[in-house]
Amino acid sequence: MAAVTLLSARGLTRAFGGLRAVDQVDFDLPAGQVRAVIGPNGAGKTTFVNLLCGRLAPSEGSIHFEGKDITRQPAHARVASGIAYTFQITSIFGKLSLYDNVALAAQRRLISDKTAGRAAGGLLHRRTMAALERVELAPLAQQIAGSLSYGHQRLLEIAMGLALGPKLLILDEPTQGLADGEIENFVALVRGVADEATVLLIEHNMGVVMNLADRITVLNFGKVLAEGSPAEVRADAAVQSAYLGA
């Protein structure tokens, strides 16, 4: 039985003046998949995911999520629909505790949860702590977020994404700044998340990509250069020339 398509894009384009950072991209992401987007610097990867999550509007093309046209839907509405996004550069509230950072995200989810009712306070706490536990930061819940190492700030941002209860979790350079041991924990974390949500990640660490991704999309000069399984992408001559350096 074919997997249900969770997100799709057709002819997706974003131009900045004369530069087409994303150029006529067709893209399909089945539910339950871990998809990696890779490519050289300047290939259009971050612009592409910014279009998917609503931080940028496309110049041309369309985006559908769960069969619904979200092309002109603002970012906050896409979050409510189940799309969570972590930034390439950490976006946390440095003067708040880890708990409060994650609770703010969990609260956004509760706003649209009609079943929460009077139990909202307890539910908020449970969801906040569950997200912190997933990234192994629960013991630091009351610590001020700005005092964390950069790697732990990255994990906190992932916890904030998880607290939204996403159907699609988009991770932009999630292992940037992580130590080797932290990367191993991250790989295990994403494998666990993939049991509950579809994952789309932009990542330069090819060991992580090849270890995690079910399928890889390669962008170059804003266009899809190749797409396939890790083995297929690794063996692709065009990808080797443009990105892998083989």
Interval 50-77: pLDDT, tens: 999 999 999 999 999 999 999 999 998 9
Enter the pTM of the model. 0.88
Mean pLDDT of 148-169: 90
- Band the pLDDT of 129: cuts 50, 70, 90: very high
Mean pLDDT of 34-54: 94
Residue 132 is predicted with a pLDDT of: 95
User: 217: closest CA among 54, 88, 29?
Assistant: 29
When the pLDDT of each residue in the chain is averaged and rounded to a whole number, the result is 89
Contact 151, 136 (CB under 8 A): no
Lowest mean pLDDT: which of 33-47, 97-111, 114-128, 217-231?
114-128
Contact 56, 50 (CB under 8 A): yes
DSSP alpha helix (H) spans, 83-205 = 98-111, 120-134, 150-163, 180-193
Residue 177 is predicted with a pLDDT of: 77
Would you list the domain boundaries of the chain? 1-82+167-246, 92-152+159-165
* Domain 1-82+167-246 -> CATH class: alpha beta
Residue 230 is predicted with a pLDDT of: 95
pLDDT exceeds 90 at position 86:
no
- Band the pLDDT of 246: cuts 50, 70, 90: very low
Percent of all residues in the chain with a pLDDT value above 90, rounded to a whole number: 62
Residue 4 has φ and ψ, to the nearest 5°, of -75, 135
Higher pLDDT, 141 or 3: 141
In 3-state terms the chain splits into helix, strand, coil percentages (rounded to 5) of 40, 25, 30
| CA distances (Å), origin 195, targets 1, 31, 198 | 18, 11, 8
pLDDT exceeds 80 at position 87:
no
3-class secondary structure, 118: helix
Q: Running DSSP on this structure, what letter comes out for residue 242?
A: I
**Dihedral sign (CA 206, 177, 32, 195):** positive
Task: Please write the tens of the pLDDT for every residue from 188-207.
Answer: 888 888 888 999 999 989 99
| CA distances (Å), origin 71, targets 25, 78, 81, 129, 135 | 14, 10, 13, 34, 32
Q: For residue 66, is it left (φ>0), alpha (ψ between -120 and 50) or beta? A: left
Task: Please write the tens of the pLDDT for every residue from 205-242.
Answer: 999 999 999 999 999 999 999 999 999 999 999 888 87
